[in-house]
Amino acid sequence: MAQWRKKEQDEIYSTEEIGARLKEELPSWYYENGWIRRKYKTSGWKASLMVVNTIGHLSEAAWHHPDLTVSYAFVIVKLMNHAAKGVTDKDFHLARKIEEVVVWQPGNDKESALEGTPDDPRFKYLKYD
């Protein structure tokens, strides 16, 4: 089984370490052609734009910017540290924050007063895994 160890801020991970860390921390993400990636399936154009805006805000706040592919019913996020020319802790940290915010479902938290979107196709937002 592949292992990974904590790296210095701009130290790049090997392909094996990336796979191991994704499996452990971000199982919906995958590694391909030098990038860690995630495809978010949405219910349509408005939802895709909301995902893009969310990712844009988080990325700008982190000063680390992904490549995005935006379509009617999906958004693909690609992260790689351009300066380091590989995947670094910055990519994993931003991916984790994106994942935490984009797939958040308040209705799943019984302690929350927020109920989440209704179970009605007219109000669907993301297609959750």
pLDDT at res. 102: 95
The single-letter DSSP state of residue 12 is P
> Domain spans of the chain?
15-104
Write the DSSP assignment of 29-72 as a string of letters: -EEETTEEEEEEEBSSHHHHHHHHHHHHHHHHHHT---EEEEET
pLDDT of 115 = 84
Fold of the domain spanning 15-104: Gyrase A; domain 2 (3.30.1360)
CA 56/CA 64 separation, integer angstroms: 10
Q: What's this model's pTM, rounded to 2 decimal places? A: 0.88
Burial (CB count <10 Å: 0-12, 13-18, 19+), residue 40: buried
Q: What pLDDT does residue 126 have? A: 84
Instruction: pLDDT tens for the chain, 129 residues: list them.
Output: 566 666 666 799 999 999 999 999 999 999 999 999 999 999 999 999 999 999 999 999 999 999 999 999 999 999 999 999 999 999 999 999 999 999 988 877 778 888 888 878 888 788 887
- Token digits of residue 112: 């929350």
Alpha-carbon distances of 16 from 11, 13, 34, 74, 128, rounded to whole Å: 15, 8, 12, 28, 28
Helix (H) or strand (E) segment spanning residue 94: helix 89-102
Name the strand (E) or helix (H) holding 13: none
